[in-house]
Amino acid sequence: MHQIKIIGGVPLKGEIAISGAKNAALPLMTAALLTDEPLILTNMPHLADITSMEALLDQHGVHLSSDLNLKTLTLTARTIHNTTAPYDIVRKMRASILVLGPLVARCGQAQVSLPGGCAIGVRPIDIHLSGLRELGAEIDLLDGYIHAKAPKGLIGATITMPIISVTATENLMMAACLAKGETRLINAAREPEIVDLANCLITMGADIVGAGTDTITIQGKNRLHGGTHRVIPDRIETGTYAMAAAITRGSIHLTNTSLDLIPTASAHLQRAGITLTPTEQGFHVTAPEKDIQGVDVMTEPYPGFATDLQAQMMALMTICRGASLVTETIWENRFMHVPELCRMGANITVHGSSALVRGIDTLRGAPVMATDLRASVCLVLAGLAAEGETLINRVYHLDRGYERVEDKLRGCGARIERIAE
């Protein structure tokens, strides 16, 4: 087990290149199951979750070859010899559920372990299942597994999703590409990762209109072909490093990204007094000379403020002038970073789904425990700003979603290192 040690107080200065988006790359990888031809993905991030998805696809029979230098992954699902996604892989990564739609659509059957709960909430998958049922799949839950069958193929339908769900929209959009006739997904998620997946599927021969709006229409095809697709930049990594620059009172240039990917987070940062200046390759982030202002934040589906940036924004608000009310509307248990931030001197009180953050002058370094991916990076941000030493335990969460995080931060002057416990 590793720990991350940070000696805080250094304003970040320099440049950070943003990696390809984890939450775009994972569904894109499962799209390879829809065709027997190669799918080539470029700008792939090198992350633990990507390795888990590779292991899952490999055991389904997908041939994978990657070039880490070129950040390219080629996936070829010429034949699928196993339609079961086993518990051992699914329990490590809930995004494994993304194989369900493509497998049923291509093979007429799939057995996927039920993902179960996780640290940030219960995370049901009822919308994935009811949507597939509306496409004609028979679904049973047996021995902890979803057993889905559609021996005669899926049939297009109009599906109104009761809650906006990112991966359910992705699963159903992929399944509908090989269904007979037209599918309409109503109340679809509008995240940039949905648009990226739709663009890749269109490259593969799919007929999809409306991705990025709340209604997506798909005309099913008999088959899809291979293609090449570049993964979009990671908007959560983008927002995280923008907040890292702000919390350390630094100034950094984020490249291979765009302000357009974080419309609401950038508006909040600007209201807090942070200057964001677009450049050809991305944007500059500069912290104010005076105080950072407290701003209220409420998480919402895209284009609202991303829940995956809530913990990082809260870390920034701990040292703001005044107060900030942070409300989490997506996950019921996503304040686990609060007690850890409080160990570093933060003044935060939680009332149901809202946290009242009263700004203090400085955080103080302390030993803390990472509980999930975004909570971990929130503690890294707090550690970068704190006086003295912060020691973060359980850092494996970080490796799921942040590529070379210590290198990127060290390149901007941070005193951060990974040490063996």
Applying CB under 6 A, does 163 fall inside the site for ligand EPZ? yes
Range in contact with ligand EPZ (rule: CB under 6 A) among 120-128, 213-221, 343-351, 387-395: 120-128
Min. distance of Cβ 360 from ligand EPZ in angstroms? 27
Cβ atoms of residues 4 and 417 within 8 Å:
yes
Regarding 304 and contact with ligand EPZ (CB under 6 A), the answer is no
Would you count residue 367 as binding ligand EPZ (CB under 6 A)?
no
Closest approach, Cβ 9 to ligand EPZ, in A, equals 28
Is position 257 an interface residue for ligand EPZ (rule: CB under 6 A)? no
Instruction: Catalytic residue, from 107, 118, 342, 378: name it.
Output: 118
Closest CA to 36 of 16, 61, 3: 61
Go through 288-302 and write b for each residue having 16 or more CB atoms within 10 A of its CB, e for each that does not.
Answer: eeeebbbbbbebebb
Stretch that binds ligand EPZ, among 62-70, 116-124, 316-324, 391-399 (CB under 6 A): 116-124
Q: Is 135 in the site for ligand EPZ (CB under 6 A)?
A: no
How far is 112 from 146, CA to CA, in rounded Å?
A: 5
Is there binding between residue 165 and ligand EPZ (CB under 6 A)? yes
CA separation for the pair 61, 122 (Å, rounded): 31
> In angstroms, what is the minimal distance from the CB of 140 to ligand EPZ?
17
| Phi, psi for residue 121 in degrees, rounded to 5 | 160, 180
Residue with tokens 């912060």: 390
Q: Is 26 in the site for ligand EPZ (CB under 6 A)?
A: yes
Q: Contact region for ligand EPZ (CB under 6 A) — 165-173, 179-187, 310-318, 340-348?
A: 165-173
Contacts of 340 (CB under 8 A, 6+ apart): 368, 369, 370, 371, 375, 379
Does position 338 bind ligand EPZ by CB under 6 A? no
Among 65, 78, 88, 126, the residue binding ligand EPZ under the rule CB under 6 A is 126
With b for 16 or more beta-carbon neighbours within 10 A and e for fewer, the 313-327 pattern comes to bbbbbbbbeeebebb
> Which residues, 399 to 418, sit near ligand EPZ by CB under 6 A?
401
3-state secondary structure 38-74: EEEEECCCCCHHHHHHHHHHHHHCCEEEEECCCCEEE
- Determine contact, residues 27/197, Cβ cutoff 8 Å: yes
Does residue 166 interact with ligand EPZ by CB under 6 A? yes
Judged by DSSP in three states, 249 sits in coil
Nearer to ligand EPZ, 237 or 406 (CB): 237
Residue 105 or 120 having the CB closest to ligand EPZ: 120
**124 binding ligand EPZ? (CB under 6 A):** yes
Q: Which residues pair with 256 in a beta bridge?
A: none
Q: What is the DSSP letter of 321?
A: B
Q: How far apart are CA 102 and CA 170, in angstroms?
A: 10
Position 23 contacts ligand EPZ (CB under 6 A): yes
Rg (CA), the chain: 21
CA dihedral 50, 260, 197, 237 (to 10 degrees): 10
| Residues 46 to 105 in contact with ligand EPZ, rule: CB under 6 A | 95
342 is catalytic: no
Q: Which stretch binds ligand EPZ (CB under 6 A): 99-107, 118-126, 261-269, 407-415?
A: 118-126
Which is closer to ligand EPZ, CB of 26 or CB of 232? Answer: 26
Give the nearer residue to ligand EPZ in terms of CB position, either 116 or 278. 116
Q: Is 376 in the site for ligand EPZ (CB under 6 A)?
A: no
* SS3 label, residue 220: coil
For ligand EPZ, the closer of residues 67 and 126 by Cβ is: 126
**Catalytically annotated residues:** 118
Return residues touching ligand EPZ (CB under 6 A): 23, 26, 95, 121, 123-128, 163, 165-168, 307-308, 330-331, 373-374, 401
